[in-house]
Structure 1
Amino acid sequence: MGSQRILVGVSGGIAAYKVCEVVSAMAQAEAEVRVILTQSAQAFVSELTFSTLARQPAYTDADFWTARPRPLHIELGEWADVCLLAPLTANTLGKLAVGQADNLLTNTILASTCPVLLAPAMNTDMWQQAAVQRSWQQLQLDSRYHAIGPGAGRLACDRVGPGRMAEPSEMLTFLTSLSYTGGQRDLAGKQLLISTGGTREPIDPVRFIGNPATGRMGIALAQAARHRGAQVTLVHGPLEAELLQQLGGICAIAAPTAAAMAQAMLGHQPQADWVIMAAAVADVRPARVAATKLPKSELPSDLPLEPVPDIVAALATARQPQQLIVGFAAQTGEIVPPAKAKLIRKGLDAIVANPVDRPSSGFGSNQTQAVLIDRAGRQRISPPGSKLELAHRLYDFLRDLA
């Protein structure tokens, strides 16, 4: 996120305290961050707090009316690469929907041309009012505006329902995508089917054969695709709760075993334009599964195994004319030759060869690197970076193939 110029607009809601974490994280990632607070926002978090976290001045309406060489709202609007409005209250939402500008924040948004991420937060009854929903739908007709949330949960008023602002981690991920794409929705109209995570092949009800895959790569693929306008179905193995919380707007289907994953992937394949098999599916499974927990003394010293059907090969065999089938090859040592062989052997359109034996590039890491290879043998290096960056680079690569 470094070198990006991000403008954060804070309206008056209790969720403003969460925005402190967002601003702090962006500043620590070496982005330039400036904050505008509405008058009511200052009742929840102070100007001093945000200026300290951002390492930059924070602005209020008092600054709006101060004499300057150039109008402040024009200067800030031209400066920003991306804007975040969080929390977006019903008041600020209504103003923007009709083009009203009566404070520094709304004037600055109207004076800018960059993408704007909207993170609404309000009481459930307020959110569900017909007037608020009309404003929400009206604003999203403008391609500049991108929506995140709101989610459902317990609100500050103790009501349980929709209206909860997106979590800081979700906003940071979306802002990273907008910084990469400039807000372009170049995957709009596409249906993506993605698998992720490891599978667990049971020995008995409490024991299984598994692997250390966390599903982070597939989640990054799903998020990046959604941020670029695609409809996404994510078939996943067991995931940590914190990762499941990052799937807003994504159709998620749990598939803990290879058999369940094969059924889900093949069942949803006909509707997909791009099919990406990022899951770490088991190669073998126990030949027999005990119906009840085996006592330790009865565990077999030699565990009979059988091969697991090859899901990505089956997907390639069943491909539709418009589909791209993409695989992943997690490798140690030399990564390209075995990945190219896998691509040819399984009839794929492209493959992502990534090392799992290099620092900050293995299972569970938020960082990775890869070589992208297509069926014609063309290669593109994705240098070390976040898994979200790799996801975007893969979509750029696939877009050139399609």
Structure 2
Amino acid sequence: MVRDKNVLLCVTGGIAAYKACALTSKLTQQGSRVRVMMTKSAMQFVSPLTFQALSRNPVYTDTFEEREPEKIAHIDVADWADIVIIAPATANVIGRIANGIADDMVTTTLLATKAPIYIAPAMNVNMYEHPSVKENMKRLEQWGYHFIEPGAGYLACGWVGKGRLEEPETIIEVIDQHQQSSELLEGKKVLISAGPTKESVDPVRFFTNHSSGKMGFALAEEAANLGAEVTLVAGPVSLEITNKRVKRIDVVTAEEMYNVITDLFPSQDIVIKAAAVADYRPKNTYNEKMKKQTGDLTIEMERTKDILHSLGEKKEQQFLVGFAAETSSPIEYGIKKLENKNLDAIVINNVAAEGAGFGRDTNIVTYVNKNQEQKEVPIASKREIAKKIFTFINSDMKDES
């Protein structure tokens, strides 16, 4: 998948920069058009001339060196790139891009490019395990950057552990595999709901639930990364979508979510209802704040429309997936929901389990299709779980066709 692609290789200042020479050579041999960009620290380890000879292209080293007056170099190369690789990626450059710092040509170009960015870290094992480095990598991963984990072994500093730049062959293999998976949902329209709903009692009070929307947002981001045209219908949450391919529609109430999803449903290929929609709402609402009174208060509730059941009745070509957040007998109740609502699959999780549930960055789920084939996904980040779910969906859709 790197063949015939424009590859920008960003080399930063670590002893592993010598491996970037082999990576440049192998990319070129495989048919990639390679341009290399180096930080000042990288030039302390390898000369630009080496990369120029291997890539057969000039090497970028200085933001202010404009060889072609009609172009701004860092913007031109940012637009040119189909793929960006940072190898080796030091703790320093990871920290700078995670905090939006653009103080040299590499970091400036990384902010400007829209190409997928692959980061191959290389550093001392203690640096790699430092909380600040972990937090920076986590932030970048949430923004859609892709990490190629370092290998473990003897490091140049004398320590033994994780932190060694992965071998060039493995870096290319990982990128190839990811590029292939990025076309998994090419041409598909995907509709996802996420977050809670709010049902007002009066201007200052409402009923809601603990859903953070993180799972639904992870699904939306991953679907877009896999090539889909994505619409996300989001309840009131504080999350942001970073992938510009995702169209976001914000709603507040269960009724609003029902109306938006029902209107969009006929044109979709895959619909995933991950939102925790209120089952009940106050029967009567008040335009002014209710005053506190002596004694107890009773609020009469009425059923909201069952969005998933309604979609199951209307379903034609769509692959319809529900979520079941349970606290006891999750598989049993999840399968009942799968059958009663005419779903193609359901994602079941026990929100009481450690590492799962609302508001967390991780989850533990069981995917069950309409043939009741169960696939367990152990604790992982919600982005990783989203990727697994779409792999399962794609497999089931192929079996049906």
Taking structure 2 as the reference length, the TM-score comes to 0.62
Q: Which residue in the other structure is 1:391 paired with?
A: 386
Q: Which residue in the other structure is 2:368 paired with?
A: 373
CA change 1:177–1:269 in 2 (3 A) is farther
Q: Which residue in the other structure is 1:169 paired with?
A: 139
Q: Which residue in the other structure is 2:192 paired with?
A: 194
8 Å contact 1:235–1:254 — kept in the other structure? yes
Q: Secondary structure at the match of 1:377?
A: coil
8 Å contact 1:361–1:368 — kept in the other structure? yes
Q: 1:257-276 maps to which residues of 2 (within 5 A)?
A: 257-276=253-272
1:309 aligns with 2:305: yes
Q: Within 2, Cα distance between the matches of 1:107 and 1:204? A: 53
Q: Within 2, Cα distance between the matches of 1:256 and 1:299? A: 31
8 Å contact 1:170–1:246 — kept in the other structure? no
How many Å apart are 1:299 and its aligned residue?
Answer: 9.5
How many Å apart are 1:246 and its aligned residue?
Answer: 3.3
CA change 1:90–1:264 in 2 (3 A) is farther
Matched residues, percent identical?
Answer: 30
**Please, what is the CA RMSD of the aligned residues?**
4.0
1:64 aligns with 2:60: no
Q: Within 1, Cα distance between the matches of 2:337 and 2:324? A: 8
Q: Within 2, Cα distance between the matches of 1:177 and 1:94? A: 25
1:9 aligns with 2:10: yes
Q: Which residue in the other structure is 1:212 paired with?
A: 210
CA change 1:361–1:292 in 2 (3 A) is same
8 Å contact 2:116–2:145 — kept in the other structure? no
Q: Secondary structure at the match of 1:208?
A: strand
8 Å contact 2:117–2:146 — kept in the other structure? no
8 Å contact 1:216–1:364 — kept in the other structure? yes
How many Å apart are 1:283 and its aligned residue?
Answer: 1.1
CA change 1:349–1:238 in 2 (3 A) is same
CA change 1:122–1:369 in 2 (3 A) is closer
Q: Secondary structure at the match of 2:293?
A: helix
Q: Within 2, Cα distance between the matches of 1:212 and 1:341? A: 23
Q: Within 2, Cα distance between the matches of 1:356 and 1:122? A: 38
Structure 1 counterpart of 2:247, one-letter code: C
8 Å contact 2:351–2:358 — kept in the other structure? yes
8 Å contact 1:177–1:227 — kept in the other structure? no
CA change 1:400–1:287 in 2 (3 A) is same
Q: 1:22-33 maps to which residues of 2 (within 5 A)?
A: none
Structure 1 unaligned segments of length 5 or more: list them: 1-6, 12-35, 48-58, 75-88, 100-104, 110-117, 124-131, 149-166
Q: Which residue in the other structure is 1:4 paired with?
A: none
Q: Which residue in the other structure is 1:94 paired with?
A: 76
8 Å contact 1:205–1:293 — kept in the other structure? yes
1:250 aligns with 2:246: yes
Structure 2 unaligned segments of length 5 or more: list them: 1-7, 13-34, 57-70, 89-96, 103-108, 119-136, 149-173
Runs in 1 of length 4+ with deviation above 6 angstroms?
71-74, 96-99, 105-109, 177-180
Structure 1 counterpart of 2:46, one-letter code: D
How many Å apart are 1:296 and its aligned residue?
Answer: 2.0
Q: Which residue in the other structure is 1:340 paired with?
A: 335
| Aligned residue pairs, count | 288
How many Å apart are 1:312 and its aligned residue?
Answer: 0.6
How many Å apart are 1:250 and its aligned residue?
Answer: 1.3
Q: Secondary structure at the match of 1:296?
A: coil
Once the two structures are superposed, residues 42-97 of structure 1 have per-residue CA deviations (whole angstroms, 9 ceiling, x without a partner) of: 4xxxx3xxxxxxxxxxx2386135889xx8879xxxxxxxxxxxxxx951453476
How many Å apart are 1:249 and its aligned residue?
Answer: 2.8
How many Å apart are 1:350 and its aligned residue?
Answer: 0.2
How many Å apart are 1:401 and its aligned residue?
Answer: 1.2
Q: Within 1, Cα distance between the matches of 2:298 and 2:80? A: 71
8 Å contact 1:64–1:72 — kept in the other structure? no
Q: Secondary structure at the match of 1:301?
A: coil
Q: Secondary structure at the match of 2:332?
A: helix
Q: Secondary structure at the match of 2:233?
A: strand
Q: Within 2, Cα distance between the matches of 1:106 and 1:306? A: 55
Q: Which residue in the other structure is 2:234 paired with?
A: 236
8 Å contact 1:329–1:339 — kept in the other structure? yes
